[in-house]
A and B are shown apart, each in its own frame.
Chain A
Amino acid sequence: MAVEVVMPKQGNSVESCIIIDWKVQEGDIVSVGDVVCEAETDKSTIEVESTADGTVLKLLYAVEEEVPVMKPIMVVGEPGEQVQEAPTGDSASEPTEREDSKPETKESTPAPEFKHASTAGSEHSAHPVSPRARAAATAAGVDATTLDPTGPKGRVIERDVIGALKGREPLTPAAKAALVEQGLQSPERGSGIGGRVRSEDLVQVPQQPSAQPLAGSDGSFPGPVVETAVKGVRKVTAKRMHASLAETAQFTMNAYADASALQSLRARFKASAPELGLQKVTINDLILFAVSRTLLQFPYMNSHFHGDTMRTFEAVHLGCAVDTPKGLLVPVIRHAHARSLKQLSDEFKRLASLGVEGKAQPDDLTGGTFTVTNLGGLGVDTFTPVINVPEVAILGVGGISLRAVQNEDDDLQFIPHIGLSLTIDHQAVDGAPGARFLKALCDNIASLDLIMAL
C-alpha cells in the first residue's frame, strides 16, 4: 500500500521548509533512511530521509516550493500502484496512513543505547546482573555480563563493575556508543585527551572458537562458516602483496650458509655476563647484522625500483617482518648499517614489541630499503618471500639444519647450515649480480665473528 513521507518537524519554531533539491525522482527505489531531498529552514539546511521502503510514486512538491512541516512531500509504494487523490491539500482525511509512517520517523525513536546494552546482556548472558550494576555498566560502556561476579548466586553487582573500571581511562561519548552498538572492546588507555579512549581506539573482540567441535555433526554442508571482514592490517597486506606480485618480475634463489659461527656466537652471548646486555641477541639479530653489512658492498641491492628510475640508498634502513596479533608488520630499523650488533638488536626488539602491542607508528613502518623475513623458527627450510615494493629484493631466512659437507680429507662432515631464500625483482637486478650478493652474504655469515670486527 502506498505510504506518504512527510516533511519532518524542525523544532518548535519552524512551521515550514523550502525544498531546495530533490535527490530522488519518480520511479526510483528508496529505503528507510535514504536522503530524498534537501530542505531549508530559516536557520539551516536539512536533509529529509525516507521513512518508507519502496518505489517513489509521486513527488508532491517542486523545487523552491514551501512545505508546512508534517505535510506529505512524496508517496512511496509498489511500482504501478495507483496514487490516491493528491494529498497536498490540508484535508485531515488520512490520519491512519500518517500514523503508519510515523513510528519510523526519527523523533519517535527512543534513545537506543539502553536497549542495545540490555538486549546484548540477555543474549549471551553468562552471569545475571543486578540493576545497579547494569546501570553503572551501561553508563561506562561495559558489557556487565562478561564480568567476574562476586554477588550472591553468581550475580554481577555494582562493585564488580567499579572494579572492572579501575585504572581504565574514560571513554568519549562516541566511543561509549560504538562500544555498546558494535560490540567492540576498549583498551585501557586511548589516544585522546588524558588517555581518553576515542572510537578509533576500540578493537574487535577476538573471535570465539566455534562451539561445535565435532566436524559435520549436524550433517550440513559446508557446515558452519565464519565470515570475517577484510580490513586493517589484513587489507593493507592483501593489497600490497598482490600489487607486489602483479607489478614486478620476482624470482627466488635458495642457498645455505654455514651456521657454525652463528650458533657458537649465539651460545656465547647467551652465556655472557648479564651486565653486557648481550644475552638476548638472537640468530635473527646476527642475520640482520650480516645483511646490513653485506648490503654496503652491493648498493644495487639496497635500492628502490620506480619504473623509470632507480633510487640507490647509501644508508641501509632494514625492514624486518614481525608476526603480530593484528597480522604482518614490517618495522624498519633506520641506519641499520651504522648500528653495532647490540644497538641493532635492541632497536629491533623495541620496534617489534611496539608492533606486537599495536603501538607501532606509521613512521616506524616506512622508509625501508631492504627487508628480511624469518620463518626459521617455524620449521621452514626455504621459501619464496614476496618483495616489499618498491624495494628490489627480500631475504627469507629459514631454519638451521645439518648438511653433509666433504672436508679436505674427503671425509663427510655434518655441518649446521641456515637456509636463505633471496627473492629479486628481475626488473631491477639480474640473476648473476643477485647470486653474487647471496654468495657474499653466505660467506659473511659463515665468518660472522670476523665481520663483527670490521
Chain B
Amino acid sequence: MESYDLIVIGAGPGGYIAAERAGALGRKVLLIERDHLGGVCTNWGCIPTKSLLNSAKLYRHAKESADKGVVTESVKFDLKRAMSWKQETIETLRNGIQFLMKSNKVTVVKGEAECVDSHHVRVGDDLYEGTHLMLATGSSPIVPPIKGYDLPHVMTSNEVLEIEALPQSLVIIGGGVIGIEFASFFSSVGVDVTVVEMMDEILPMLEPEFAKLMRRELKPVKFHLGSTVTGITEEQVIFTDAKGKEQKISAERVLMSVGRKPNTGNLKRLQLDIGKNGVVVDDLLRTNIPDVFAVGDLTGKSLLAHSATRMAEVVVSNLYGVGGQRMRYHAIPWAVYSIPEAAGCGLTEQEAVKQGREVLTGTTQMRANGRFLAEHGKRAAGLCKVVIDAKSKVILGIHLLGPYSSEMIYGASAIIEAELRIQDVKEIVFPHPSVSEVIRDTLFALEHTL
C-alpha cells in the first residue's frame, strides 16, 4: 500500500491547485479524479461557457458595428466551429494541468475514489494511505423532479454544451448566473429564449437596480419572474406566473439551471458532518473528522472556482507552508459573463443595511467614462455603484455592470481586503483611458474633498 502526505479527491480548481501547491512544497501527493482533470470549471463550466460567449460577442460585434465604421455582410454564426474552438480550449487547458501535475511530482490516479476511513482511500482494487485527506469532489446540477424532467429535450448545463444544432426556442428554468449566461449566449445567436425564475428578480447577488438593467440589456430574452414551473411536455413548459395564473410556452429545448448540490456520495463512510448546504467546515476548512479537510463547492460556502482555489491554498499553507491562514469570504469577487458583463465584490447596499450599518452609496453611469463612450456610445448600459460605511468611510462593496467588469473587479477585492477608505482609493492612480476609472470617479462624486 502506497502512502502519501496528502490525498486529494477531485481535480477541479480546488483539488488540482491543492495538489500542485503541496507538490511544489515537496510533499508526496496523490490526486484522484473520476473524469477529466480540471473538474467542472475546465470541462463543463467556467471555461467552455466563456469560449461560447466570446463567439457570441464577436458575432454581435460583427453585426452591430456599422455605426463605428465596420460594415460586414452575410455574417453567420457557425455552432460547429464555435463548439470545436471550445473543445480545443478545454483540451489545451487539461493538458496544461496534466503538465503541472507532472512537474510538481503529483501522482494522478483516474477512477472513482471510495473513502475507507479518514486515512485510507480505495480506487478500484488499490488502497492508498494518506496522512491528510482533502475532499474536493465539487457539485452537480440539481434536477428537480418536475413532471417531464427526464424528457430527452430537457438538459442541464452539462448536456447543453454538447448540442449539435441551435434550437428555434429555448426555455431556461432558473435565472441565476448559469441560466443568465446561457440566456445571453443563445439569444445573441438568434435563439428565442425565455427565462422562468422562481424569485422576484434574476441574479440575487446583484444590486436590484443592476438586475433590472441587466434584464433590459438582455432583450429580446423574455423573463417570467416569481414563476414556478409545474410541468414539461414534449412541446411546452407549463408554469404558474406571479399572479398565480397557469401559463404555457412552447420550447424546442429546455435548460434546467436551478442550482447545484454537493457531491457527497462516496464520502458516506467517513461520518462527516453534512449540513444543509454541504460538508460543514470551519475557517481552516477542517471537517468534524481529524485530518480530513473539505474545500470548494462540496462545502456549499461559496460556489465559485476561485473560492475553491483559495480554500485549497489555505489548507496547504496551514499544513505545509508558512501557515497562520484563515479563509475569508467577505472579499470574494463574482462575475457574470453575459453581454454585458456584471461583477461585484463585498456588500450590496441591502446587505450592509441589514447588518445594521449606516452606509453612503454612490452610483455612476459608465457613459461619463471616456473609453466606454468611445467604444460603446452614449446609449449603452453601464453602471458602477460603491457602498461605503458612513462613519469610517471604508469601502464595503463595489458593483459593476458593463464591459470589462470581470477584469477590473479584482481591484475591488484588493480594496476591500486592504480595508481602504474613500480617501485611500483616491490616492491610487488608475490608467486613463480605462473603464476602471468609474470606480475612482464614483468616489470623487461622493466625496470631493482632496
Residues of A within 8 A of B (CB): 9-12, 41-47, 106-107, 172-175, 177-178, 189, 191-193, 195-196, 198-199, 334-335, 361-364
Contacts and interface: CB of A to CB of B under 8 A. Distances in A.
21 contacts: A11-B444, A43-B362, A43-B365, A43-B445, A44-B363, A44-B445, A45-B362, A107-B449, A173-B418, A173-B421, A174-B394, A178-B392, A191-B328, A192-B419, A193-B417, A195-B324, A196-B419, A198-B419, A334-B288, A361-B283, A364-B282
Contacts of B284: 361
Interface string B310-339: 000000000000001010100000000000
B11 to A, nearest CB: 28
A43 B324 contact: no
Contact of A177 (B280, B288, B421): B421
Interface in B264-300: 280, 282-284, 288
A44 B418 contact: no
Contacts of A189: 324
6 A-B pairs with the lowest CB-CB distances in the bound complex, closest first: A172-B419, A44-B445, A363-B282, A44-B362, A174-B419, A43-B445
B448 interface: yes
B82 interface: no
Contacts of B441: 43
B156 interface: no
A47 B360 contact: yes
Contacts of B394: 174, 199
Contact of B364 (A11, A43, A107, A192): A43
Contacts of B361: 45
Given A43-B441, A44-B446, A173-B424, A196 B418 contact: yes
A342 B285 CA distance: 25
A1 to B, nearest CB: 28
B442 interface: yes
A10 B328 contact: no
A173 B324 contact: no
A351 B372 CA distance: 54
B419 A106 contact: no
Given A175-B419, A335-B288, 16 more contacts: A10-B445, A43-B365, A43-B445, A106-B447, A107-B449, A172-B420, A174-B419, A177-B421, A191-B326, A191-B328, A192-B418, A195-B324, A334-B288, A362-B282, A363-B282, A363-B283
B420 A174 contact: yes
B448 A44 contact: no
Interface residues of B, number: 31
Contacts of A46: 362, 445-446
Contacts of A44: 362-364, 442, 445-446
Interface of B: 280, 282-284, 288, 324, 326, 328, 360-365, 368, 392, 394, 417-421, 424, 441-442, 444-449
Nearest to A111: B423
A30 to B, nearest CB: 16
A173 B441 CA distance: 20
Nearest to A9: B448
Given A45-B361, A191-B328, A361-B283, A106 B418 contact: no
Contacts of B418: 172-173, 192-193, 196
B17 to A, nearest CB: 18
Contacts of A41: 445
Contacts of A361: 282-284
Contacts of B364: 43-44
B282 A11 contact: no
Nearest to A8: B448
Nearest to B363: A44
A334 B444 CA distance: 52
Nearest to A190: B419
Contacts of B365: 43
A192 B417 contact: yes
Nearest to B280: A363
Contact of A174 (B368, B421, B445, B446): B421
A335 B392 CA distance: 43
A363 B279 CA distance: 13
A173 B324 CA distance: 22
Given A172-B418, A173-B418, A193-B417, A45 B283 contact: no
Contacts of A191: 326, 328
Contacts of B417: 192-193
